[in-house]
Chain A
Amino acid sequence: MTFNATGLRYDDVDVGDELPPLDLPLTRSLIVATAIASRDYQDVHHDPGLAQERGSKDIFMNILSTNGFVGRFVTDWAGPDAVLKKVSIRLGAPNYPGDTMRMTGSVTKKADGLVEVAVRGANGLGDHVSGTVTLELPRD
C-alpha cells in the first residue's frame, strides 16, 4: 500500500469502510532499524544471542515500532491532513524476524469530525497487535 497523498475528508469516510491491508515483511534489518530509530537499545531487539539467553527464540520488534506501524497504517490510508488523537493497543504474539505482519483495519465509529478505526496486525503466531486509533479529519 502506498501513501494516500490526496488524503481523506471527514465526509469521504463511512462506518464499515475497510483500510487497504498492509503486509509487512519482518526482516531482521527492519526490527533492528526501527528499534534503533526509536532509541531503544535493549538487547532483545538487536542481539539474537542475548535474546535467547533471556528466553526468547530470537530478537523481536519493540513496542515503539509497533505503535509506529499502527500510526503509519492509518495515515497511509487517511493522508496528510489526518491528526491522530488516540492510539490504544493491546499486544500479543511477538514479531520475530522471518515472519510477516498483515495489518488490517476498518472504520468502527464516526462522530463530530472524529473517526475511530479498529486495527489488527497478525503474524504467523496470531495477533501481534489489536486496538483502536482515533483521528480527526478535515470537515470542509
Chain B
Amino acid sequence: MTTTTPTTEDEKAAFLAKLKAYEGRTYGPPMRGPDPVNQAMIRHWVEAIGDENPVYVDPDAAARSVHGGIVAPPVSLQAWVMRGFRPAASATSDVQDEIMSLLNGAGFTSVVATNCEQEYFKELHVGTHLSTTTTVESISEEKATGLGVGHFLTTLVRYTDEHDDLVATMRFRILKFKPGTGRSATQAKTDAEPATRPPRPRPAVTQDNAFFFEGAQQHKLLIQRCSSCGRLRHPPGPACPSCRSYDWDTVEASGKATVYSFVVNHYPQVPSFDYPLAVGLFELEEGTRLVANFVGVEPDAIEVGMPVQVEFVEHDAELTLPAFRPVQVTA
C-alpha cells in the first residue's frame, strides 16, 4: 500500500470519506471463544488479580450469594474470547485489516486504547459459551491530541451466549496516531495537571534493604555492616563483597557527608516531584555513598565537595526518606 499522508483539505476530506465508509460494518463472521466459562480459567484470573471474592471459586459461598453459583468476574469478559498464543489465520477480519492498512498507509501507525465501556446483562456462569460480533461504530475526523494527530476508531462488541442471548456489550475506542506529532511534553503536562499530585513513587523494598527504609521512617540513617569483617556497604545486599559473608548488622551514620556528584533533572517530569530536580550522590563520613535529594539549596548553588548534613523528609504517612542540606562552614 503506497498511500501518503493526506495534507490538503481536499485530500483530508477524501481520506475521511474512505474511513467513514466503514462505519456500521461488521468484522467478519461471529467469533466464538475457544472454551465455555470454566473454573480453571477463573482460578487463574482471580489468583493473578488477587481477587478474594469467594463467589468465583467457592461453590458453597457462590450458591448462598445472589449469583446462585460460581460465576466469572464480569470484568474478565474479554478473556473468554481471546485468540491465544497461536491464533488461527481465520482469526483476523478483512474489515479490520482494511481499516488498519488504510490508517497505517497514511502515517497513522501508532495505536493506543483510550476508552473501554462494558455493560453486563447476564452473569458469566460456568458453562456460558461466549461469541462476539464486532461492529465499527464510528471513525472520527482527524484530531490533534496530546499523543499526536490521529483518528479515533470506536467499535461495539456484542457478546452473546450459546442461546444467542445478549450477555454484554463493550464499546472500545482506540486512537491511531502519527508518532512524533503530539504536543510538547510540557504542554501535555499542563493539560493533564492533576488537582492533587500523586504520592511519591514507593521504593522497591526487599528483605535486604528493608532496614534502610524502616530506619528512615524513624529518622535514622542506617548503613549495612558485615558482621564477619566489619566492612560497611551500600546499597544493601545479601552478601559482603569483601569476605562473602551473609551475616550482617547495621550501624547508624552520623549524617555528615559531602556531595560526591550530582545531577539536575529537567525532563521527563513526573508529577510527584518539583523541577528542576537535583539528585545527589553523597559520600558519608563513614565512607559509603548513597543517592538522595537535596533540601535547602537551589540546584545552581550545588557544588561537588560541598559539606552536607542529613535530614529526613516525610513525604507522606508511609514514606520518609533521607535528604541532604548544605551546612555553613564556619571558619
In the bound assembly, the distance between CA atoms of A91 and B175 in angstroms comes to 11
Residues of chain A with a CB closer than 8 A to B65's CB: 80-81
Q: Kindly state whether residue A111 has any CB partner on chain B within 8 Å.
A: no
B-contacting residues, A73-101, CB 8 Å: 75-76, 79-81, 83-92, 98-100
Q: Are A100 and B120 in contact (CB under 8 A)?
A: no
> A125: which B residues are within 8 A, CB to CB?
270-271
| Docked CA distance A86–B117 (Å) | 7
Interface flag for A72 (CB, 8 Å):
yes
Which residues 164-182 of B sit at the A interface, judged by CB distance below 8 A?
179
Contacting residues, chain A, for B51 (C-beta < 8 A): 3, 68, 71-72, 75-76
Can you offer 20 A-B residue contacts whose CB atoms are under 8 A?
A36-B44, A37-B79, A38-B76, A64-B79, A67-B118, A68-B49, A68-B73, A68-B76, A81-B65, A83-B67, A84-B120, A87-B75, A88-B118, A90-B115, A91-B116, A98-B204, A99-B201, A122-B198, A124-B198, A124-B270
CB closest residue in chain A, given B86: A41
| Chain A residues near B76 (CB-CB < 8 A) | 38, 64, 67-68
Please determine whether B272 and A124 come into contact, CB atoms closer than 8 angstroms.
yes
B199 and A68 within 8 A (CB): no
Q: Does A126 touch B at the CB level, under 8 Å?
A: yes
Q: Is residue B61 within 8 Å, beta carbon to beta carbon, of the partner chain?
A: yes
Q: B198 touches which one: A72, A85, A98, A123 (CB < 8 A)? A: A123
Assess whether B114 is in contact with A85, with CB atoms less than 8 Å apart: no
B residues 197-234 in Cβ contact with A at 8 Å: 198-202, 204
Which of B21-29, B52-60, B244-252 forms part of the interface with chain A?
Answer: B52-60
CA separation between A92 and B199, bound complex, in Å?
Answer: 17
The 9 closest A-B pairs by CB, nearest first: A71-B75, A39-B82, A37-B48, A124-B201, A3-B52, A88-B117, A67-B75, A72-B51, A33-B48
With A and B bound together, what is the CA distance between A41 and B55 in angstroms?
Answer: 27
* In the bound complex, CA of A91 to CA of B85 (Å): 25
Q: How far is the CA of A2 from the CA of B115 in the complex (A)?
A: 28
The reply to whether B113 and A63 form a contact with Cβ atoms under 8 Å apart is yes
Chain A residues within 8 Å of B, Cβ to Cβ? 2-3, 5, 23, 25, 30, 33-34, 36-41, 55, 63-65, 67-72, 75-76, 79-81, 83-92, 98-100, 102, 122-127, 138
Using known A-B contacts A65-B49, A81-B66, A85-B120, determine if residue A39 contacts B194 with beta carbons closer than 8 Å. no
Q: Is the CB of B194 within 8 A of A38?
A: no
Give the residues in chain A near B79, CB-CB below 8 Å.
Answer: 37-40, 64
Instruction: Kindly list chain A residues whose C-beta atoms are within 8 Å of the C-beta of B50.
Output: 72
Q: Say if the beta carbon of B123 comes within 8 Å of chain A.
A: yes
The digit string for B235-279, where 1 denotes a CB below 8 A from any CB of A, is 000000000000000000000000000000000001110000000
Q: Is the CB of A84 within 8 A of B75?
A: yes
Q: Is the interface of A mostly helix, strand, loop or mixed?
A: mixed
B272-303 interface (Cβ within 8 A of A): 272
Report the minimal beta-carbon distance from B128 to chain A, rounded to whole angstroms. Answer: 15
Please state if B114 and A91 are interface contacts (CB–CB under 8 Å).
yes
One of A87, A122, A127 near B118 (C-beta < 8 A): A87
- For the complex, what is the distance from the CA of A88 to the CA of B280, rounded to whole Å? 43
Q: Is B45 an interface residue (CB 8 A)?
A: yes
Closest to A35 in B: B48
Residues from chain B with Cβ under 8 Å of A80 in the complex: 53-55, 61, 65, 67
A57 CA to B115 CA, complexed, in Å: 22
Q: Determine whether the beta carbon of A72 is less than 8 Å from that of B49.
A: yes
- Please state if B75 and A76 are interface contacts (CB–CB under 8 Å): no
Query: A96: shortest Cβ distance to chain B, in Å?
Result: 10
- With the chains together, A53 CA to B190 CA distance in Å? 29
- Min distance, Cβ B171 to any Cβ of chain A, angstroms: 8
Q: How far is the CB of A61 from chain B (nearest CB, A)?
A: 11
A10 to B310, CA, bound (A): 52
Q: In whole angstroms, what is the CA distance A30 to B204 when docked? A: 14
What separation, in Å, do the CA atoms of A64 and B112 have in the docked complex?
14
- Using an 8 Å CB-CB cutoff, how does the interface string of B98-132 with A read, 1 for contact, 0 for none? 00000000000010111111111001000000000
